[in-house]
Amino acid sequence: MDKTPSRLTAKPSWLLSQLAVHSARLVSDGFAEAGARGYHYRILAALDEFGAASQAELGRRCSMDRSDVVAAINELAEQGAVERSPDPDDRRRNIVTVTKAGTKQLQRLDRALDEVQDDLLGPLPAEDRQTLTRLLAQLLTHHQRR
């Protein structure tokens, strides 16, 4: 049986990268089962939490490239999950709003993502899950400031 060298398994960076690959696959599969992609979830979550926004604003909030935002919004609009309308202050810009169908889709995606969390963090008790989440958020915040 092949074993991973301990000098790798003792490094948080290696462990995080291995878990990131596994986590991304689980999330992608979970969203695919719900007929969506991660970009759809990001946009719907941002619209739900912060309200209507321009495509540029959504890109910044969701850490998405402009072309990915446009493609995802096009897909969501085709599904009836979002609506685009001209910005009354600047007709060159679109304002995106979530629809009732989009809110329902977001709820489905929330459930799918909750199942992924349970799968990913299965061996950890609730307190350890909260601690891990807090520590990861702390690290991410630190490195985003740089």
Mean per-residue pLDDT, 73-89: 94
Mean per-residue pLDDT, 112-132: 96
| pLDDT bucket at 89, cuts 50 / 70 / 90 | confident
Closest to 40 measured CA to CA, from 104, 92, 91: 104
Mean per-residue pLDDT, 61-78: 95
Mean per-residue pLDDT, 14-27: 95
**Helix and strand counts by DSSP (H, E) for the chain:** 7, 3
**For residue 112, pLDDT beyond 80:** yes
Count of Cβ atoms closer than 10 Å to residue 123 Cβ: 6
> What's the pLDDT at 88?
86
> What's the pLDDT at 116?
95
**Ordered structural domains, the chain, with CATH:** 10-144 (1.10.10.10)
Contacts of 99 (CB under 8 A, 6+ apart): 80, 81, 82, 83
> What's the pLDDT at 90?
83
**What are the structure tokens assigned to 83, written together?**
């609506």
> What's the pLDDT at 2?
74
**For residue 1, pLDDT beyond 70:** no
> What's the pLDDT at 92?
84
